[in-house]
Amino acid sequence: MQRIGEILQEQFGLDEESLTAALEVKQEKGGKTGNILVQQQKITEEQLLEARSLQCGLSVVRELPKEIEPFFVERVPIGYLKKYKMIPVATSEESFVALAEPQFFQQLDDLKRLLDWEGMRVVLAPQNEIFVAINAAYDITSQGAADRVMQDMHEEETPDSIFSAIEETADLLDDTSDAPVIKLVNLVLSQAVRDNASDIHIEPYKDRVKIRKRVDGILYDMYSPPRHVLAKLISRVKIMARMDIAEKRLPQDGRIEIRIADKNVDIRVSTLPTAFGERVVMRLLDKSTAYLPLQALGLAPRDMESFLELIKAPHGIILVTGPTGSGKTTTLYSALGILNSPDVNIITVEDPIEYQMDGVSQMQVNAKIGLTFANGLRTIVRQDPDIILVGEIRDLETAEIAIQAALTGHLVFSTLHTNDAASAVTRLIDMGVEPFLVSSSVNAILAQRLVRQICPDCRESFEPSQEYLAKAGLSLEELGGRLLHRGVGCQACFDTGYRGRIGIFELMILSDELKRFTLTTSDAGQIKNKALEMEGSSMLTLRQDGLNKVLAGQTTLEEVFRVT
């Protein structure tokens, strides 16, 4: 058989020098010449595939079919196919085995024999195509698969295998354990990750257990296994999260770090005892998602301009407010992304750390060892930061240190749980902060919510009825003949009509006039009115910004009313 290096030289003009360098790497670290050359970007993957095809006489299939019959998943472990980079492909039209690397002929023969596929055609395909197809085939996502798993869960004793810890490096989809409870937990986790869920809830009721996932802010039912499954389910999750499985009366926190379908996922687990047993909430943080650029959040052009100016101020506090899950942290990280540079010292104290950002020192709150927001913040101030991010201001102590830092030349970002921007002022004063300290330190407050975006694949326009508009306080005249939009539901959006989310915002800048006004009253309603009515004010309320996004066809009235 001709050497791959020779073929690459003859067919694709690979130079002697690159080949020698690759062969040296091979000598030293092992591996395949072709793969090393691809890694070193001397040749493309496509060229390597062509060369291999010439080498072994197999034809190349660049794209594998999307709908592959997963008939083999019960018989062949997923790890086998991944290791040897091969997959049996069967569709209604054709059957063949796809390979990424032709050298595993012994394993290929074994696979064919196992499937009764002797004599079946073999082709070469890109490695990535093969991995995607393998993951899809083993992602046992049908309701049928889950039902089978749950039927297997008898009330017998807990099998020992559920006590096996998860392997740190292994992909959850490679787990071949037989215990139904492990299968169920793995199934739930892999589906949640596939659907970009942010949370998974396991809730006990009198005679059922409910497993639900939150996607784009909405809770959906996943499974409802019988009640006797609960103890095993909770035990399995606790073992994965390294929690005390014997302790059932006290709340516990833990975390699971895991790979699912080639994604690194960090899961925060918390348990809470209830009348019907322990309930579990798992919060999924996909570490591979980067924070969003500020431009992608959905700030109106004028708000965007103001916000960019505000975050470049040398000192003061910028607060982002809204309920849990309203995207506050994402907004703050988008701002940090703009400010982050080698000559700026940014330190954060958070719970949990949701994004990892290079060049930023991030500290995790840990109540068990006394590292609270307030203590963390106190430490940070001594570390000579330029910019500080405090995950949340929950108490007077934290508020006072944050204000002190802002007044002594630091820019401080934080969040508060309030419904609108003006209420943040009220909240700080209610905590016990002196009104003059609030007005002298806080530069601006951004209230926000996330609304679901209309699915771009099934978006249609419609002429709203008068009654429909009246609910939003709009009239046909105000609409001026414009059409509204909605998603009718399609495969891409699981028939919900929505896909992805966008922020709606209310940016309240504390101008000198407004600062003076806050010294006279801490009433949120009055402060809001003043902010809206001041001369030259361009402040939009959450609802106004939301309605603008409805008119722009990005979301629906229902969404805006759901969150405001």
Helices (H), 94-229: 105-115, 127-138, 143-151, 180-194
Contact yes or no for 546/504 (Cβ under 8 A): yes
Name the residue whose CB lies closest to Zn ion. 455
Enclosing H/E stretch for 560: helix 557-563
Tally of CA atoms within 13 A in the half-sphere of 452 that contains its CB = 23
Nearest-approach distance from CB 497 to Zn ion, in angstroms: 6
Encoded tokens for 102: 């032709």
Q: Which stretch binds Zn ion (CB under 5 A): 115-123, 154-162, 379-387, 448-456?
A: 448-456
Under the criterion CB under 5 A, does residue 193 sit at the interface with Zn ion?
A: no
Shortest Cβ 471–Zn ion spacing (Å): 24
> Which residue's CB is nearer to Zn ion, number 217 or number 254?
217
Among 455, 508, 510, 542, the residue binding Zn ion under the rule CB under 5 A is 455
Tell me whether residue 329 or residue 554 sits nearer to Zn ion (CB atom).
Answer: 554
Site membership for Zn ion, residue 542 (CB under 5 A): no
Q: Please, which residue, 133 or 455, has the CB nearer to Zn ion? A: 455
Residue 239, both tokens? 């073992």
Angle CA 501–320–268, to nearest 5: 65
Contact characters 461-490, Zn ion, x per CB under 5 A: --------------------------x--x
Other CB atoms within a 10 A radius of the CB of residue 443 amount to: 19
- In the complex, minimum distance from the CB of residue 66 to Zn ion, in angstroms, rounded to a whole number: 18
Question: In the complex, what is the shortest distance from the CB of residue 456 to Zn ion, in angstroms, rounded to a whole number?
Answer: 8
Backbone angles phi, psi at 118, to 5 degrees: -60, 140
Question: Would you say 21 or 490 has its CB closer to Zn ion?
Answer: 490
Give dist(CA 427, CA 395) in Å, integer. 10
Give the residue with the Cβ less far from Zn ion, 500 or 525.
Answer: 500
Instruction: Examine residue 457 and tell whether it contacts Zn ion (CB under 5 A).
Output: yes
Q: Rounded to the nearest whole angstrom, what is the least distance from the CB of residue 460 to Zn ion in the complex?
A: 10
Closer residue to Zn ion (CB): 327 or 487: 487
Q: What is the residue whose two structure tokens read 């500290």? A: 363
Record the tokens describing residue 126, joined without a space.
């890109």
Taking the C-alpha atoms of residue 49 and residue 59, their distance in angstroms, rounded to an integer, is 10
Does 215 help bind Zn ion (rule: CB under 5 A)? no
Q: Pick between residue 427 and residue 501 the one whose CB is nearest to Zn ion.
A: 501
- In order of 65, 72, 88, 111, the CA distances from 117 in angstroms are 19, 11, 9, 8
By CB under 5 A, how many residues form the interface with Zn ion?
7
Q: Which is nearer to Zn ion, 283 or 486 (CB)?
A: 486
Residue 454 sits in the site that holds Zn ion (CB under 5 A)? no
Please identify, among the stretches 45-53, 152-160, 452-460, 544-552, the one whose residues bind Zn ion according to the rule CB under 5 A.
452-460
Angle at 563 between CA 562 and CA 564, to 5 degrees: 105
Interacting residue with Zn ion among 493, 507, 509, 527 (CB under 5 A): 493
The residue assigned the tokens 């690979």 is 14
Using DSSP's 3-state secondary structure scheme, residue 20 falls into helix
Q: What gap in Å lies between CA 461 and CA 476, rounded to an integer?
A: 16
Stretch that binds Zn ion, among 79-87, 121-129, 417-425, 454-462 (CB under 5 A): 454-462
Q: What angle (nearest 5°) sits at the alpha carbon of residue 553, between those of residues 548 and 557? A: 65
Backbone angles phi, psi at 417, to 5 degrees: -90, 85
CB of 559 to Zn ion, least distance (A): 15
**Of the residues 458, 474, 504, 542, which one makes contact with Zn ion according to CB under 5 A:** 458
Rounded to a whole number of angstroms, the minimum distance from the CB of residue 561 to Zn ion is 21
List residues binding Zn ion (CB under 5 A).
455, 457-458, 487, 490, 492-493
